[in-house]
Amino acid sequence: MHRNTKQIMSRKRKPLPILENVTIEAVAAEGKCVAHVDDKVVFIPFVVPGDVVDLQVRKKKRSYCEATVIRFLKKSTIRVEPMCEHFGICGGCKWQNLPYNEQLKAKHQQVYDQLSRIGKVELPEFRPIMGSVHTKEYRNKLEFGCANKRWFTEEELKALPEGVGLSEGAIGFHITGAFDKIYPIKKCWLMDNLCNEIRNDIYDYARNIGMKFYDNRAQHGLLRDIMVRNSNTGEWMVLIQFHYDEEGDDKRAEALMQHIADRFPQITSLFYVDNQKGNDTFNDLELTLFKGNDHIFETMEELKFKVGPKSFYQTNTEQAYHLYAVAREFANLSGNELVYDLYTGTGTIANFVAKKAKKVIGIEYVPEAIEDAKVNSEVNKINNTLFYAGDMKDILTEDFIHEHGRPDVIITDPPRAGMHQDVINVILGASPKRIVYVSCNPATQARDLALLDADYKVTTVQPVDMFPHTPHVENVVLLEKR
């Protein structure tokens, strides 16, 4: 017994070290930066190359560790002042302290590193990364979580008057790495300021009438989640998720909806839903339209796209146009081609390239998105598209290709996980002349390029920045039959 106690005590963790006078060397993955201390790699958030800092190690592994800044000894000459008062706390933008041209360099390098290290395929010289037209108010959609107990920083806790409780509600964003911790946001710079006005007004109303905010752990509380969308046609959509717990919650919810409708006539599409699930996804729930239309419209060139609350649409409207223009250029259509558009979403790319193709067939997992895609073709008087809903690996089969014809060009824009092996096998069997691969995750794109490499050569690479101040980057690759 005594020996067991000793063993347990010997496994007690040593305090993690402080690293002094460390120079930050470069931008690394996931928005962190990297430094080396005694041959060990150290990853640090919210710093920029050239900063000299003292660090507290937070997590220690055999080959690397993660640390946070406890003291700045010297600030880098390239550092810029973040525009947002919530920078460093909210789990969103991680690069506001890095000049935009430096962000673009880091993203371009990230794409190159992932394609060359993971893909290990022969690569052409990359085109320079395409920067976003706007670096503020560029998003057309934001979602805010609600919490019955807001997150406090250490500084805020110290500043609280003695005896003040910590049960203040919040509407805002999750802090990094915590599903149930919401930090209250006063102003987010990523969307038109009306979004801030709507969110802050909902918070004030809910607090003033004593509405219960959602408790993510206990899973009760009325006000749960808010989604705000806008479009380049000037339309606004708001969807509020409630969680009915007690008698009268439906009436309280409707009173809030009426308040929003009265307060913000700019909202042209106002929805709500009672979500009793363990998560805040709503694609499988029936939504209630409280006011206005059940959609908004986005425009791209002469086309109009119907966007519903469940629709996927690129969240940076203006940059989406440039992304799709690259995809259309790479497809190099003459008007005689059969095009397959995989993971078509609401058919944006399919409809965008249709006038230059003989026929476009779009496939997508979400049935509602496919209904939108069909409507988008009708609205734009496009009659050479066909759309199918279902799991890609189940629909895109040899039989499907035999029925619909062998594609001359395949455009694919898969989710972050990339393409399933079965899908890649069918693409190889279909043997199109060209594949245009649009990706939001160059790491999984690189893996897929390696699987296509025996039959297809990468001939052009165009990185595109859709999300300024974040480490995310899109990449378009043209593959041509060997």
Active site residues: 440
CA distances from 469 to 13, 90, 131, 331 (A): 36, 13, 12, 30
Q: Is 38 annotated to bind ligand?
A: no
Would you give the end-to-end CA distance of the chain in angstroms? 70
Q: What is the token pair recorded at 226?
A: 């808010």
**What does the radius of gyration of the chain's CA atoms come to, in whole angstroms?**
25
Do 289 and 317 touch, CB atoms closer than 8 A? no
Nearest to 136 by CA among 176, 182, 88, 195: 195
**Are the beta carbons of 103 and 95 closer than 8 angstroms?**
yes
Measured distance CA(227)–CA(361) in Å, rounded: 31
Tell me the C-alpha to C-alpha distance, in Å, between residue 182 and each of 170, 318, 462: 7, 30, 36
State the Cα angle at 352 between 346 and 357, rounded to 5°.
115
Residue 445's nearest CA partner among 430, 468, 422, 463 is 463
Determine contact, residues 225/179, Cβ cutoff 8 Å. Answer: no
Q: Which residues pair with 359 in a beta bridge?
A: 338
Q: Which positions ≥6 away from 477 have C-beta within 8 Å?
A: 115, 436, 437, 439, 445, 449, 458, 460, 461, 462
- At 154 the three-state DSSP class reads helix
Is 143 annotated in a binding site? The answer is no
| Assigned token pair, 455 | 């039959």
Token pair of 228, please? 């705000």
Q: What share of the chain is helix, strand, coil (3-state, %, to 5)?
A: 30, 30, 40
Sole residue written with tokens 């000793």? 6
Across 437-460, b (16+ Cβ under 10 Å) vs e yields bbbbbbbbbbbbbebbbeebebeb
314 carries a ligand binding annotation: yes
